[in-house]
C-alpha cells in the first residue's frame, strides 16, 4: 500500500530500487527479466517509456485502428531474399503482434502466413540475417536489432534483392554475356 498522499508510482519505484540496489548488475538483470516475464511485459528500452504501436500507426497515423497484414507489409517492403523476409517477419511480430522475443523456429511459420514459399535452407538464411546484424540470436531471447528495424523500414535499401522467378532483362543478358557475333568478331581481330 502506498503511504497516504504519496504518488504510488514513486512508492513502487523506491521499493524496487531498495530491493535491487545491493545486487550486482547481472543479478539485477536476472531479477528484472523474471519480473517482466511474470507480469507478461516486454522489456522497454532503457530510460524510455514502453511504446507499443503498430505498423499502421507508423505508416498512416490517421488510420491507426486498421492493422497492416503481413502480405501488405511484404508488398510494401519487397524483401528479395529469405534472410530479408526473416528480418521482416521479426519486425512484423514485434510491431503488429507485440512479440519482440523469439526463437529461430518461431519465425518459420510466417512464410506460410505471408503466402510466401518456404526458405529452401531456412537455417542458412536465418544465420545470414544474424550475420548482417538484423537479428541478435540468443535462443528464446533472440530479437530484431535496431539495424534490422532500419533495414526493414527502408525496404532493404542498398541490399541486393534476388527475386525468385524473375528473369534478367534482355539488355542485362547482353551485358553479362557477349553475343555469338561479338565473340566471332573479337577472335578475327
Torsion angle in degrees (nearest 10) through CA of 141, 147, 152, 157: -150
Question: Which of 3-7, 38-42, 54-58, 177-181 has the largest mean confidence?
Answer: 38-42
Strands 143-144 and 135-136 turn out to be antiparallel
**pTM of the model as a whole:** 0.56
pLDDT bucket at 189, cuts 50 / 70 / 90: low
Q: Decide: 129 and 148 in contact? Cβ < 8 Å.
A: yes
184 assigned to some structural domain: no
Q: Which residue has the cell 522475443?
A: 101
Number of domains in the chain: 2
94 assigned to some structural domain: yes
pLDDT tens digits, one per residue of 90-142? 999 999 999 999 999 999 999 999 999 999 999 999 999 999 999 999 999 99
Domain range enclosing 118: 55-153
Q: Are both 78 and 144 inside the same structural domain? A: yes
Q: Are both 82 and 149 inside the same structural domain? A: yes
User: In the prediction, which pLDDT does 123 show?
Assistant: 97
Q: Are both 31 and 111 inside the same structural domain? A: no
Distances (CA, A) of 75 to 54, 71, 92, 115: 17, 6, 13, 11
Average pLDDT over residues 51-64: 52
CATH of residue 68's domain is: 1.10.10
pLDDT bucket at 49, cuts 50 / 70 / 90: very low
Q: Are both 86 and 134 inside the same structural domain? A: yes
Amino acid at each position: 500500500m502506498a503511504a497516504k498522499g504519496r504518488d504510488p508510482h514513486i512508492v513502487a519505484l523506491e521499493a524496487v530500487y531498495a530491493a535491487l540496489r545491493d545486487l550486482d548488475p547481472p543479478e539485477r538483470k536476472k531479477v528484472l527479466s523474471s519480473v517482466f516475464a511474470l507480469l507478461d511485459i516486454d522489456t522497454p528500452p532503457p530510460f524510455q517509456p514502453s511504446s507499443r504501436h503498430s505498423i499502421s500507426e507508423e505508416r498512416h497515423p490517421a488510420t491507426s485502428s486498421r492493422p497492416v497484414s503481413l502480405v501488405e507489409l511484404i508488398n510494401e517492403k519487397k524483401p528479395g531474399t529469405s534472410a530479408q523476409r526473416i528480418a521482416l517477419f521479426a519486425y512484423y511480430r514485434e510491431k503488429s503482434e507485440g512479440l519482440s522475443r523469439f526463437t529461430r523456429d518461431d519465425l518459420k511459420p510466417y512464410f506460410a502466413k505471408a503466402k510466401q514459399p518456404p526458405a529452401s535452407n531456412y537455417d542458412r538464411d536465418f544465420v545470414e540475417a544474424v550475420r548482417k546484424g538484423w537479428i541478435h540470436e540468443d535462443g528464446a531471447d533472440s530479437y530484431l536489432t535496431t539495424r534490422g528495424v532500419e533495414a526493414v523500414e527502408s525496404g532493404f535499401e542498398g541490399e541486393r534483392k534476388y527475386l525468385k522467378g524473375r528473369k534478367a532483362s534482355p539488355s542485362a543478358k547482353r551485358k553479362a554475356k557477349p553475343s555469338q557475333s561479338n565473340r566471332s568478331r573479337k577472335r578475327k581481330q
